[in-house]
């Protein structure tokens, strides 16, 4: 990532494409429509509500982030996407039962006009769903070409300057990178041969990158976390980031764990369980899809707590994560954590958390922020992995061989310092010596 000599202005319209138009995507779309009409507030969105300190504390410069870096305006956003079902965004939002009809009916016409394009879908990657709005091509390269055409048509029809994409589709089954994912050449060969290891999300990501559209991965899917697509993104100067929106229980974990560690309090065990009844919960009821989620949820504590450096505090920690599909709850998940900690001389203590959260309410502002920051990255000429957006992810993508920073506060500092750096401001180190000279 080079400091941009200049950042292209956010002129014209920005298309935000979501492969997957279920609970998260429609809550994001509807919420953005309500916010730009002044009918509701975009709480949870750093790009819309956050301030950033510049210079010394005594300088009193704390502009809003959206006034400091050139972000696209909410009024300039056009929404589009793909889904396995024909429901338009209004109908899908009603089915998802996240937002109330009082809210949705205020924007019914605008929301109903967002209709999903037909999906790329291979049922072996999401075993609990069957598609009805699915592309008919069978060859994976032809499917990628069809998605590329969708993107070009969408841009043309809506007179768009630029597009970004945020994956809001279901969690695919867990799979590891293989030889076909190892280079662009092998991947393209694999597409032509319809290699079984190429997932639907990879077909979208390939097509989007080829069309110059940044790809943010909201699920724990492997997708762009493979050498072939990282290489392609770099070659085309297209930003990619992921994986798995950091909401709910994992958000709490990455807020709490750094605090416990900073005070050198030990942890013997961390048991997390959730009940969840939306379609995401149904998909995650399949052990292979859950495996993708489990890997992403389990990884966060390891890099925050660094058991290798602190074996007495965290070396024997038992960490378990469960998700139970429980339909009556819908999107209104309940997440429990039991944390067995210990302090001075090893005396045990316990922390219990019962987080009655709403998954999509926490995820929607992340979709908005990621889309706007990915667009900023694109206009700054930053291709490849955008590690500075780790703040939003459970399982952040990093350069090969580099461990991910999962501590929310380090991630926020990084995000803000990147913005200061790109705009030519002094980085804030919190040294603060100058106040005492
Ligand atoms: N809500 C959260 O807090 C949260 C947090 C982290 C990650 N996520 C992830 O975000 C994703 C979306 O969550 P959700 O609650 O909206 O789920 P959802 O089931 O309501 O929506 C997913 C949509 O994706 C569609 N879909 C599946 N495969 C597709 C394909 N190949 N092409 C196009 N569409 C496809 C489904 O038909 C469905 O409508 C999931 O992968 C979920 O794990 C959500």
Q: pLDDT of 182-213, one tens digit each? A: 999 999 999 999 999 999 999 999 999 999 99
Choose which residue among 168, 296, 362, 391 to substitute to test ligand 1 binding: the one with the highest number of ligand atoms within 8 A of its C-beta: 168
Number of C-beta neighbours around residue 427 at 10 A = 10
Give the pLDDT band of residue 377 (cuts 50, 70, 90): very high
User: Is residue 299 predicted with pLDDT exceeding 90?
Assistant: no
**Which atom of ligand 1 lies closest to the CA of 283?**
19
Contact in structure between 14 and 77 (CB atoms under 8 Å)? yes
Name the more confident of 285 and 225.
225
Same domain for 153 and 234? yes
Mean pLDDT of the chain: 96
Q: What is the pLDDT of residue 367?
A: 98
Q: Is the peptide bond before 429 cis (omega within 30 degrees of 0)?
A: no
Distance 393 CA to ligand 1 centre (A): 15
Q: How many domains is the chain partitioned into structurally?
A: 2
Contact in structure between 155 and 78 (CB atoms under 8 Å)? no
In a domain, 433, yes or no: no
In a domain, 431, yes or no: no
Same domain for 278 and 235? no
Give the pLDDT mean for 83-103. 97
Query: What is the torsional sign of CA 67, 428, 45, 374?
Result: positive
Q: What is the pLDDT of residue 293?
A: 79
Q: How far apart are the first and last CA of the chain?
A: 35
Identify the three-state secondary structure at position 337.
Answer: strand
Same domain for 94 and 241? yes
Closest CA relative to residue 272, chosen from 216, 204, 321 = 321
Domain boundary pick from 337, 356, 375: 356
Task: Say whether pTM exceeds 0.85.
Answer: yes
Contact in structure between 181 and 207 (CB atoms under 8 Å)? no
Q: Which residues pair with 251 in a beta bridge?
A: none
Domain boundary pick from 334, 356, 378: 356
120-175 per-position pLDDT tens digit: 999 999 988 888 999 999 999 999 999 999 999 999 999 999 999 999 999 999 99
Same domain for 199 and 262? no
**Which atom of ligand 1 lies closest to the CA of 333?**
3
Contact in structure between 356 and 337 (CB atoms under 8 Å)? no
In a domain, 147, yes or no: yes
Give the pLDDT band of residue 332 (cuts 50, 70, 90): confident
Cα separation, 384 vs 215, whole angstroms: 10
Name the H helices within 107-226: 108-112, 140-157, 184-192, 200-210
Choose which residue among 280, 282, 286, 296 to substitute to test ligand 1 binding: the one with the highest number of ligand atoms within 8 A of its C-beta: 280
User: Is residue 241 predicted with pLDDT exceeding 80?
Assistant: yes
Q: Which residues pair with 355 in a beta bridge?
A: 335
- Which domain covers residue 189, as residue numbers? 14-245+361-422
Q: Strand pairing of 266-276 and 334-342?
A: antiparallel
Same domain for 411 and 320? no
Q: What is the pLDDT of residue 237?
A: 97
Cα separation, 241 vs 218, whole angstroms: 9
Same domain for 52 and 136? yes
Contact in structure between 209 and 238 (CB atoms under 8 Å)? yes
248-265 per-position pLDDT tens digit: 999 999 999 999 999 999
In a domain, 4, yes or no: no
Give yes or no for residue 200 CB within 6 A of ligand 1.
yes
Domain at 90, CATH number: 3.40.50.720
């Amino acid at each position: 990532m080079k400091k941009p000599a200049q950042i292209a202005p956010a002129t014209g319209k920005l298309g935000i494409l979501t492969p997957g138009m279920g609970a998260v995507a429609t809550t994001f779309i509807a919420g953005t429509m309500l916010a730009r009409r002044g009918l509701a507030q975009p709480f949870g969105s750093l790009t819309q509500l956050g301030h950033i300190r510049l210079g010394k504390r005594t300088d009193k410069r704390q502009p809003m982030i959206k006034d400091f870096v050139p972000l696209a305006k909410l009024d300039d956003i056009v929404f589009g996407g793909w889904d396995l079902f024909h429901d338009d965004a209004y109908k899908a939002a009603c089915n998802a039962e996240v937002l109330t009809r009082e809210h949705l009916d205020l924007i019914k016409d605008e929301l109903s006009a967002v209709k999903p394009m037909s999906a790329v879908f291979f049922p072996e990657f999401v075993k609990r769903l069957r598609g009805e709005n699915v592309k008919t091509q069978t060859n994976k390269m032809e499917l990628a070409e069809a998605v590329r055409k969708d993107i070009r048509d969408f841009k043309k029809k809506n007179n768009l300057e630029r597009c970004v994409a945020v994956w809001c589709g279901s969690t695919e089954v867990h799979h590891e990178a293989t030889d076909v994912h190892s280079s662009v050449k092998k991947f393209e060969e694999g597409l032509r041969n319809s290699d079984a290891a190429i997932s639907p999300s990879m077909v979208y990501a390939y097509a989007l990158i080829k069309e110059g559209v940044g790809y943010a991965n909201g699920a724990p899917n492997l997708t762009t976390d493979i050498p072939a697509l990282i290489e392609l993104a770099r070659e085309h100067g297209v930003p990619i980031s992921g994986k798995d929106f950091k909401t709910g229980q994992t958000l709490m974990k990455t807020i709490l764990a750094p605090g416990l560690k900073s005070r050198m309090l030990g942890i013997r065990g961390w048991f997390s369980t959730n009940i969840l009844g939306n379609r995401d919960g149904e998909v995650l009821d399949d052990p292979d899809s859950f495996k993708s989620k489990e890997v992403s949820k389990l990884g966060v504590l390891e890099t925050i707590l660094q058991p290798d450096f602190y074996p007495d505090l965290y070396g024997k920690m038992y960490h378990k994560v469960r998700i139970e599909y429980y339909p009556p709850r819908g999107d209104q998940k309940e997440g429990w954590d039991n944390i067995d900690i210990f302090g001075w001389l090893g005396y045990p203590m316990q922390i219990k958390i019962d987080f009655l959260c709403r998954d999509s309410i926490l995820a929607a502002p992340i979709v908005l922020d990621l889309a706007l920051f990915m667009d900023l990255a694109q206009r700054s000429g930053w291709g490849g992995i955008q590690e500075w957006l780790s703040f939003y992810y459970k399982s952040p993508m990093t350069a090969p061989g580099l461990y991910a920073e999962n501590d929310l506060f380090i991630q926020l500092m990084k995000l803000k310092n990147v913005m200061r750096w790109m705009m030519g401001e002094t980085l804030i180190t919190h040294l603060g010596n100058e106040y005492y000279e």
